[in-house]
C-alpha cells in the first residue's frame, strides 16, 4: 500500500515577516501541489525526481555531497519520523511542481505531507487541527523560528488569516484570482529573517512603526477581500510591497516588476513570502504574467484551491 499526501502550495498576500512578530497575515493556497508518497520498506529511503538542487558542495576527499535544501528536507522528514517514534521504516518519494525555497511554502508542504502520510500509514486518524499543530511543532524544531502561517494554510486550504498574536487562524470567504511567478532567490528565508531582526534591534521604534502600518494594511485587506474589492486590494498590495522594501527583503528584479506593473495599469502587485527573490503575486492580469515571463520568471498556477491537504491510498 502507498499513502499519498497532496499538499497545495501557498502565496502570502499580506503580512509576511510581520507575522513572525505576532502581527496578522493573509495567505491562500494555489493550484500547485507538492506530493509525498510513502510505503513500507526494509530501510528508510528518500527519493525525488523533481526537486532541483542548487548550491551543491562536493567533498572529494570524503566523497560527500552537501546541499542546504537536501539537509533541510531530510531534517523535516527525520523529525516527523521521530515524532511518531519511527514505528515503521518507509520509502518516501517527493514530487514538487516548483523549485524549493522560492516563497511558495515547499518546506511546509514537505512537513504537512509527511505528517499526513506517515500518520495515516501508522493507522492514526488525525484531524486537520492536529496535522497543523504537529507540522508547526516540527517546523519549529528544524528552523527554530517559524509562524503558523504556512503549515496551517496548507493544511486547511483556501484563504487564511493568521490572527494577531500568531496563535489562531480564521478561514476567509474569498473569490479572487491572482497571477504569480517566481525567480531564483539570492538569499534564503533564514537570511532575510536575520536581516529583519538586525533592523529591529538597531531601530526598534522605527521598526515597530513599520509593523503597525503593515498590520493596518492587512486589516484593511481582510475587509477588501470580504467585499471582493479588487481595486482596494490591489492598492494595498502596492503599499505592502513598499513597506517590505523598507525593511530590506525585496530584490531589484521584483521591485522592477512591481513598478512596471503599476505603470501598466495592473491593479496590484507585490513580493510574496520571505523575499530575497522568490515569488511575486499580482491581481489577475495578462500584463502581469507577460512581465513576469519577460523578466525571466517562471509562471505558476496561482488560481486558489480550497481543499487543503488531501490523502489517498494507492
Q: Where are the alpha helices (DSSP H) in the chain?
A: 68-83, 106-121, 128-143, 149-156, 189-202, 204-226, 230-246, 252-263, 286-294
Eight-state DSSP code of residue 20:
G
Eight-state DSSP code of residue 304:
B
Residue 214 in grid coordinates: 503593515
List the chain pLDDT tens, one digit each, 314 residues: 999 999 999 999 999 999 999 999 999 999 999 999 999 998 888 888 765 544 444 444 454 545 566 777 888 999 999 999 877 889 999 999 998 888 899 989 999 999 999 999 999 999 999 999 999 999 998 887 778 999 999 999 999 999 999 999 999 999 899 999 999 888 877 788 889 999 999 999 999 999 999 999 999 999 999 999 999 999 999 999 999 999 999 999 999 999 999 999 999 999 999 899 899 999 999 999 999 999 999 999 999 999 999 999 98
At 55 the pLDDT is: 46
Query: Kind and range of the H or E element at 33?
Result: strand 25-40
CATH of the domain at 275: 3.30.70.890
At 304 the pLDDT is: 97
- Considering only CA atoms, which of 169, 166, 165 is closest in space to residue 152? 169
Active-site residue, from 59, 99, 150, 191: 150
Does 211 share its domain with 159? no
SS3 248: coil
- Residue 96 β-bridge partners: none
At 185 the pLDDT is: 87
- CB-count burial class (<10 Å; 0-12, 13-18, 19+) for 265: exposed
Does 11 share its domain with 115? yes
At 48 the pLDDT is: 80
Does 226 share its domain with 147? no
At 63 the pLDDT is: 46
Does 150 share its domain with 259? no
Cα–Cα distance measured from residue 224 to residue 207, given in angstroms and rounded to the nearest whole number: 26
At 86 the pLDDT is: 76
Residue 103 in grid coordinates: 516563497
CATH of the domain at 43: 3.30.230.10
Residue 267's domain comprises: 178-300
150 is catalytic: yes
CB of 51 within 8 A of CB of 100? yes
At 51 the pLDDT is: 58
Does 111 share its domain with 128? yes
At 52 the pLDDT is: 56
Does 72 share its domain with 112? yes
At 60 the pLDDT is: 41
β-strand pairing of 169-172 with 45-47: unpaired
Does 160 share its domain with 260? no
At 46 the pLDDT is: 85
Q: How many CB atoms lie within 10 A of CB 79?
A: 18
Residues, the chain: 314
Does 30 share its domain with 148? yes
Cα–Cα distance measured from residue 32 to residue 281, given in angstroms and rounded to the nearest whole number: 14
Does 192 share its domain with 53? no
Does 25 share its domain with 98? yes
Please work out, in degrees rounded to the nearest 5, the angle formed at the alpha carbon of residue 240 by the alpha carbons of 274 and 194. Answer: 30
Does 63 share its domain with 109? yes
Does 169 share its domain with 192? no
With b meaning 16 or more CB within 10 Å and e meaning fewer, what string describes 144-164? eebbbbbbbbbbbbbbbbbeb
How many structural domains comprise the chain? 2
Cα–Cα distance measured from residue 207 to residue 191, given in angstroms and rounded to the nearest whole number: 18
Cα–Cα distance measured from residue 212 to residue 272, given in angstroms and rounded to the nearest whole number: 19
Amino acid at each position: 500500500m502507498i499513502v499519498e499526501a497532496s499538499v497545495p502550495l501557498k502565496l502570502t498576500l499580506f503580512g509576511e515577516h510581520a507575522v513572525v512578530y505576532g502581527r496578522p497575515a493573509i495567505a491562500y493556497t494555489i493550484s500547485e501541489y507538492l506530493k509525498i508518497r510513502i510505503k513500507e520498506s526494509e530501510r528508510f529511503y528518500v527519493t525525488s525526481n523533481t526537486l532541483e538542487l542548487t548550491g551543491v558542495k562536493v567533498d572529494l576527499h570524503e566523497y560527500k555531497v552537501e546541499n542546504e535544501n537536501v539537509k533541510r528536507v531530510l531534517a523535516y522528514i527525520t523529525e516527523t519520523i521521530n515524532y511518531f517514534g519511527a514505528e515503521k521504516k518507509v520509502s518516501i518519494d517527493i514530487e514538487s511542481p516548483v523549485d524549493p525555497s522560492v516563497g511558495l511554502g515547499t518546506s511546509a508542504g514537505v512537513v504537512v505531507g509527511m505528517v499526513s502520510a506517515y500518520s495515516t500509514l501508522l493507522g492514526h486518524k488525525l484531524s486537520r487541527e492536529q496535522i497543523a499543530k504537529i507540522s508547526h511543532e516540527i517546523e519549529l524544531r528544524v528552523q527554530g523560528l517559524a509562524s503558523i502561517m504556512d503549515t496551517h494554510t496548507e493544511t486547511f486550504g483556501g484563504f487564511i488569516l493568521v490572527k494577531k498574536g500568531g496563535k489562531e487562524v480564521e478561514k476567509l470567504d474569498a473569490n479572487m484570482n491572482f497571477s504569480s511567478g517566481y525567480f531564483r532567490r539570492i538569499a534564503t528565508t533564514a537570511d532575510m529573517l536575520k536581516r529583519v531582526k538586525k533592523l529591529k534591534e538597531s531601530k526598534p521604534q522605527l521598526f515597530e512603526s513599520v509593523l503597525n502600518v503593515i498590520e493596518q494594511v492587512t486589516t484593511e485587506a481582510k475587509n477588501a477581500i470580504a467585499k471582493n474589492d479588487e481595486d482596494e486590494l490591489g492598492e494595498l498590495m502596492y503599499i505592502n510591497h513598499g513597506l517590505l522594501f523598507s525593511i530590506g527583503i525585496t530584490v531589484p528584479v521584483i521591485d522592477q516588476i512591481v513598478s512596471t506593473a503599476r505603470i501598466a495599469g495592473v491593479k496590484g502587485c507585490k513580493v510574496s513570502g520571505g523575499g530575497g527573490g522568490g515569488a511575486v503575486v499580482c491581481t489577475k492580469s495578462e500584463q502581469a504574467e507577460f512581465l513576469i515571463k519577460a523578466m525571466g520568471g517562471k509562471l505558476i498556477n496561482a488560481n486558489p484551491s480550497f481543499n487543503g491537504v488531501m490523502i489517498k491510498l494507492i
